[in-house]
A and B are shown apart, each in its own frame.
Chain A
């Protein structure tokens, strides 16, 4: 997989313009940033998000690296990034009540409420694939580690259709799809692979 290319990936014209910047200027329009850590799934799914958002809204999307999920979250919290990818199981560890949840859906709801209340962050619908295991709040709650895009209320005020757009990816990227995307990206150009994946599913 061509990792460096992912990091420098800017979804549309900025690549052509040779200008990677998170600050918009004249007629470039608004730029969104997706913070991703160093894991393979974040790099691939971050690129999926970037291409999908760009194709469906015309908005330029930058990927910016961060050390780990906690750093990514801080970046979004501080307004240094607009979206990151989190895992329900991992996020639920912050919530004491999560262990009392009786279903994966309940955990998701608790996490969603907690993030909104405490950080003004909005959990969007899960992609469908599972993130790192070992962070499940309860044995058997496989759903608890589902990955989901997270943004902030501030960003949704600025990009009112963003949640609607991103939620179209919900359930479209399960474990099997992700595994194949990672394999195919290793073999070829990841942007081409991901664009084909989105196109084949009629998403772009």
Chain B
């Protein structure tokens, strides 16, 4: 049947078209090399993808990255000829995947998608970011992300980031709303692991994320840094052994509850100059049931009267069960 099918011109054309279509969109074997470019139609990446400059997914187009794909970014010259945009306010010095359309990067537990540096000896910020700007319905799931500057970065964009691992980046995730873009930032950060980054999650101006069930462990400067954020919920996370657990600046409607916030090196929570509003952080585990020990790792009005107070009362007497990445996942 199959052989006889080749004799049928319609089937032959169909097969030929399928092959052409497939190869125009992705790469089965070897390596797909992507120079500085714009993607204007739906595209699929799989296998090994070497990115050698900014790649912009234009509005109306979707980039799908298949499970098991490795996307490696070359360390290009800072704001050099391989960049598509020299707008330093919204872009990073080195190569980015700029999402104006949509990104679906959905790996599987046993076939994660890797975003990393292409360097033999990689270092932090070899590449810039998967930079979502004014785009929505994006998903990053089961991805391993390393050596980026701020590898998941959202300006007035909507993204779900789940079951990903971030390590050896500058700041793992950063987001804020920007003027002139109608879409508001909505980011769900769920079931991820953040370790050995400069900072974990940077919650910026006016954004209202959900940050839950993450392991935020051993990041050099901070676990979570919220500044001028909107209403946001930080619940059921393990925030431990970071330089500072949570840093807050000019934040109002923040819910910090049911987390394990313990053993951070400088402070579990530190209010920055300008955080005059009190902070409700009841119902967390602080690594101790001794209020004086808990207090020692909180910087607030008790240390500096110009700061607000952190209400850490009603703390739980043992680690919050079910916080962090659930084992059943």
Contacts and interface: CB of A to CB of B under 8 A. Distances in A.
Nearest to B197: A16
Contacts of B22: none
A13 B92 CA distance: 14
Contact of B170 (A16, A58, A161): A16
B249 interface: yes
25 contacts: A13-B170, A13-B198, A16-B124, A16-B170, A16-B220, A17-B170, A17-B198, A19-B93, A24-B88, A25-B88, A25-B89, A25-B91, A26-B92, A26-B149, A56-B273, A57-B273, A57-B274, A58-B225, A58-B227, A58-B249, A161-B274, A164-B273, A164-B306, A165-B273, A204-B299
B171 A13 contact: yes
Interface string B8-22: 000000000000000
Interface residues of A, number: 21
Interface string A4-27: 000000001100111100011111
A57 to B, nearest CB: 5
B153 interface: yes
A202 interface: yes
A19 B125 contact: yes
B107 interface: no
B199 A26 contact: no
Interface in A122-140: none
A19 B169 CA distance: 13
Interface in B255-276: 266, 272-274
B159 interface: no
Nearest to B94: A19
Contacts of B123: 18
Contacts of B198: 12-13, 16-17
Interface of A: 12-13, 16-19, 23-27, 56-58, 161, 164-165, 168, 199, 202, 204
B221 interface: yes
B90 A56 contact: no
A56 B272 contact: yes
Interface residues on B, range: 35 or more
Contacts of A12: 198, 221
B204 interface: yes
Interface centre among A13, A18, A161, A204 (most CB of B within 10 A): A13
A195 B130 CA distance: 34
Contacts of A23: 88
A93 to B, nearest CB: 34
Contacts of B317: none
A58 B247 contact: yes
Contacts of A13: 170-171, 198-199, 221
A188 B80 CA distance: 39
A27 B227 contact: no
Contacts of A25: 88-89, 91-93
Nearest to A13: B198
B88 A27 contact: no
Given A26-B150, A57-B272, A17 B204 contact: no
A52 to B, nearest CB: 10
Contacts of A199: 266
B174 interface: yes
Interface string B125-147: 10011010000000000000000
A12 B89 CA distance: 19
B129 A26 contact: yes
B75 to A, nearest CB: 11
Which 8 pairs of residues, A with B, have the shortest CB-CB distance? A16-B198, A25-B88, A27-B174, A17-B170, A17-B125, A56-B273, A13-B198, A165-B273
B300 to A, nearest CB: 12
Given A24-B88, A27-B150, A202 B303 contact: yes
Given A16-B220, A27-B176, A27-B204, 16 more contacts: A12-B198, A13-B170, A16-B124, A16-B221, A17-B125, A17-B198, A25-B92, A25-B93, A26-B91, A26-B129, A26-B150, A57-B249, A57-B274, A164-B306, A202-B303, A204-B266
A25 B131 CA distance: 13
A154 to B, nearest CB: 19
Contacts of B170: 13, 16-17
Contacts of B281: none
A87 B299 CA distance: 33
B161 interface: no
Contacts of A204: 266, 299
